[in-house]
Amino acid sequence: MTERKEFRDLVSPEAAHEAIASLDLGGGTEEVSLREARGRVLAERIDAELDVPGFDRASMDGYAVQARDTFGADEADPVLLNLAGAVHAGEEPTVEVEEGTCAEISTGAVMPDGANAVVMVERTDEYAERSSAEQSNGETVRQIEIRTSLAPGDHVMLAGADVASGERALGPGTQLTPREIGLLSALGVDSLPVYAKPQVGIVSTGDELVRPGEPVESERGQIYDVNSYTIASAVEEAGGEAVLYPHAGDEYDEMERVLEDAAVECDLVLSSGSTSASAVDVIYRVIEEQGELLLHGVAIKPGKPMLIGEFPDSAYVGLPGYPVSALMIFRHFVAGAIRRAAGVPEPQTASVKAEMAIEERYGEGRTRLMPVGLVESGPSTEKHEMLAYPVDKGSGATTSLVEADGIVEVGPDTAYLAGGEPVSVTLFSPDVRPPTTFGVGEDDPALSRLLDDLDQPRYLSIGSRQGLRRLDQGAPDFAVVSGSVERDIEAAEFGGWTREWGLVVASENPKEIGGLVDLVERDLRFINRPTDSGLRTTLSNAVADLADERGESRHDLVESISGFELAARAQESPARAVAAGKAEAGLGLRATAEKLGLGFVSLGNEPVAVLGNPDRVEKPGMKELRQTLEETGIFETLVGFESLP
């Protein structure tokens, strides 16, 4: 009678997970072209090296104007402007818009000098008039009737409004879908560092197996090899590179040869079949003689005859022979390990049920495909809901898609979605999952470094004021605020740092700018931050203090600063405008000035605080955030930053 090999002591599923986690599945990084990047995972942060768009551009067809020329205009009392020329998309403007004039402009065209707003063509009419001075030469003056008032910036996408130079575009661990490929294309990136795909060898064992496409002799007990292609597809779905080997019979020498070939060429070898205690199932002996058998048998059904071991140059996992069992064990134990080695996040279903995190109003009478992000409302160990929040930044902004997880279809008769209202989110990909932690608020270089140390975070730079408002509404997990912005909301203090702020000037400070007084008293071009920025609030407070010292009104001082109301969205944008010669001074940080090789006039220090949603402090991602804030030393390595006590 043939001796049979008994199973070793069955181990728990937890022990099997630990054994697989201990295996070296390869990994590392490699550089790939943008054309080959779909489905890969970023290994390093990608920062924008240019503004997108790279110029101020019209966001609709109409007429470029000076906004002040339209003040007070309406349907009953329109204004007439002389037409100075036209600007078309893809052309460099050859016309200048002066006071009392306008220029015809098409969507996407460069804004001409002098213009700071665009009036929609639907709110205009064109006339042709001949003045007395022009009648002798026969020239005709074309005039445009404007029937609406505009503010500076209306219907204009400013340079860097989508993505600003120096801004954190994509973080490490981002899986690249067509959305991210579009953003990278807009940034001019042609190659990028990604996690290398683990090479996984697929070996099916058994004399009875026949590859699909070949004739099968059922009378001899032959069956088609199901596992090779099934497991190979699952490997590639998990982020690995599958390599199929000829199936091995049950004879020892043949099995040894195939497994050795796969072990030399691959990071992981997956076999299926030949793992039970039958006398003909010899694979465990090959592993014992060629490497190390870590376990044989797991207390799980199906999948008890599972093998885990190591060859000298690769890892090994033996799956059951039955296709359903093999696939179930692969997904339960092996797929996650391959995803981790490849940097691929855990997958989700193609659609999820969620609740609206905030109220979203909509009244255009058309079906709306609303991009939304997803965030979990509580710790993963407790019962919680999935929340959906709108992230629509406009049809011209590619970042709307990058920051979203899916689409909520809003019907034409829906005027608004209430907070807490159930919605169905169609995911962009079955692999999409919510971020481990979701934050909003102030843009800050130290924060970008902090986010790099977290697992799959998401952060929206919307300014301190908006960050506090959204934290109060309950959508994000945390908000980052700076300066003396009012914090009259319930929040958990997670820590923070201080940063030195002031005026970023040209290298060597050729204009010899010494402080705010110079901006007030001299004809210097200045670029500010948006009103929602905490840094803007800090500057406004400093201007108010200066006004009190001089016995003047804050309004008068603001009016005397050229460009005070000209805001740039990202924290590096004013500094980069100074570097490009577009301004003599910009509101910014010492850290930014040092990074860009510019001069800096210090105006003081301001605190930056991380405030947590009190209902989510126990979320794993929030615990990781708190721990990273407590343990990281990134602030000591940045110029102009100190950790708060």
Q: What is the pLDDT of residue 34?
A: 95
Residues of the chain with pLDDT under 50: 1-6, 130-136, 276-280, 380-383, 394-396, 637-639
Residue 381 pLDDT: 40
Strand partners, 528: 567
Fold of 13-28+197-342: Molybdenum Cofactor Biosythetic Enzyme; Chain A (3.40.980)
CATH class of 29-53+161-195: alpha beta
Say yes or no: do domains 13-28+197-342 and 57-157 share a fold.
Answer: no
Strand partners, 612: 478, 492
Q: What amino acid is encoded at 536 in this protein?
A: R
Cα pseudo-dihedral 505, 511, 514, 517, rounded to 10: -100
Q: Is the dihedral of CA 235, 237, 240, 246 positive or negative?
A: positive
CA 90, 96, 100, 101 dihedral sign is negative
* pLDDT for position 138: 58
Please report the pLDDT score of residue 8 as a whole number. 55
Residue-level pLDDT at 248: 74
Q: What token pair was written down for 508?
A: 């060597």
**Architecture of the domain defined by 495-643:** 3-Layer(aba) Sandwich (3.40)
Q: In sequence order, what are the beta bridge partners of 610?
A: 480, 495
Q: What is the pLDDT of residue 133?
A: 46
Domain residue spans of the chain: 13-28+197-342, 29-53+161-195, 57-157, 351-434, 495-643
CATH architecture classification, 57-157: Beta Complex (2.170)
- pTM of the model as a whole: 0.67
Of residues 125, 112, 119, the one with CA closest to residue 149: 119
Question: CA dist 573 to 199, 424, 465, 466, Å?
Answer: 43, 38, 19, 19
Give the 3-state secondary structure of residue 643: strand
- Which pair of structure tokens corresponds to residue 235? 């490997």
**Which pLDDT score is estimated for 379?**
64
Please tell me the CATH code under which domain 351-434 is placed. Answer: 2.40.340.10
